[in-house]
Amino acid sequence: MRKGLLVLLTAMLVLPAGCGKKEAGEDAYPSAVQIREGEQPGGDMTEESREEEPQGESREGTRTDREEVQQNEQDSVEEEFGFADLDQTVFYFSSGAGAWYTEVTIHGDGSFSGHYQDDDAGSTGDSYPYGTRYYSEFSGRFDSLEKVDDFTYKMKLVSISFAKKPETEEILDGIRWIYSTAYGLDDGGEFYLYLPGAKAAELPEEYLLWVSNVSPEKGDRLGFYGLYNSRTGDGFSGMIYEEKSLQERTYEVVTAAEEQAGGLAEELKNTTGQQDMNVITTQMYIIWDDALNAVWKMMDTELGESEMEALRTEERNWITYRDEEVEAAGQKFAGGSMEAMQRSLKAAELTRARVYELIEYAKNRE
């Protein structure tokens, strides 16, 4: 099942990628050699043409057309696109409607890492009242990068491995985690890489279904890197990693969470069915739980071990406090249809407050 709520909580924000190559329409190859009158193919001059050389000018000091072409060809090879041009480019594959997503970061040596996530807040049980999450952390390698045309390359997925064995599961913090494969990379063998500037009209229709604001009819070109799984028809959009401070990154996380949670709060006001209300409030909690996890990971990579150990102790105490408060909120409606909703609302409220506490910590530290 691939439905739920997308929580875009990456540890960095992204900017549209620039090509860094030749402008569209610019010839990618050296022009044909023009052979002047009196000159033989290959650049060797006749005696007559040699006699016309200016007096005192040494032939060793001039470049023949052949030498110039060879230099142009060498420069072209040196400028050839490679995995190094993709280093730290992040590719996204998602429903585009706030549901599942796959995120893949390609590194300069062709290796990649990423994760897939899909939340189903309506799939609950006694031991997982906050829903079900399909999740995968993975890594692997692309190889055999080969040029197809000026804006297209193809490559092969040669290996992929998973942090958790697919089709296994566990329950953590009231959420059922079902470990999965990497949606979008599944069954992948040959992938196509599209460079910024590629004409939309020349790209597969299946790829264009997965990207937005690109119209073949209007003569649009890609403004970003594209990644296409030719076997499954799945398409990714690529962005470039941008280095930002801890405070900036945590602020972006909470801004995204507020926007999504606010939309759900409005939806809740217009919902009358209790089951639907339970699902919405569970989604609200999941949004803030994802935000908390994202901020925590950022701090874990940024702070020193002594600081993190102090925060871990604080976090364990907070989790105990949260669970007690959530239990108390549910007990007021024990056995009733509103119990699950009240638990989720309290959990979302406390988790949101905890996110802001950590953000304030990050702010004061810088």
What is the chain's mean pLDDT, rounded? 80
Task: Write down the pLDDT at residue 212.
Answer: 78
SS3 130: coil
pLDDT tier for residue 63 given thresholds of 50, 70 and 90? low
Q: Residue 358's closest CA among 300, 304, 305?
A: 300
Task: Write down the pLDDT at residue 202.
Answer: 95
pLDDT tier for residue 320 given thresholds of 50, 70 and 90? very high
DSSP secondary-structure letter at 111? E
Task: Write down the pLDDT at residue 28.
Answer: 33
Distances in whole angstroms, Cα of residue 102 to Cα of each of 54, 99, 174, 179, 223: 66, 10, 23, 14, 20
Is the pLDDT assigned to residue 152 strictly greater than 80? yes
Task: Write down the pLDDT at residue 214.
Answer: 87
Maximum distance among all alpha carbons in the chain?
A: 107
Distances in whole angstroms, Cα of residue 165 to Cα of each of 80, 133, 158, 176: 38, 15, 19, 15
- pLDDT tens sequence across 94-107: 875 456 889 999 99
Task: Write down the pLDDT at residue 4.
Answer: 37
Tokens of 284: 């609200």
Helix segments in the chain, DSSP class H: 47-51, 65-78, 205-208, 246-269, 274-302, 305-331, 339-365
Is the pLDDT assigned to residue 15 strictly greater than 50? no
| Cα–Cα dist 175/123, whole Å | 10
| Cα–Cα dist 2/119, whole Å | 8
Over range 122-129, report the average pLDDT: 88
Question: CB–CB of 105/114 below 8 Å?
Answer: yes
Tokens of 236: 């990714």
CB neighbour list of residue 10: distance below 8 Å, 6 or more residues apart: 90, 103, 294
CB neighbour list of residue 114: distance below 8 Å, 6 or more residues apart: 91, 102, 103, 104, 105, 137, 138, 139, 182
Amino acid identity for residue 90 in this structure: V
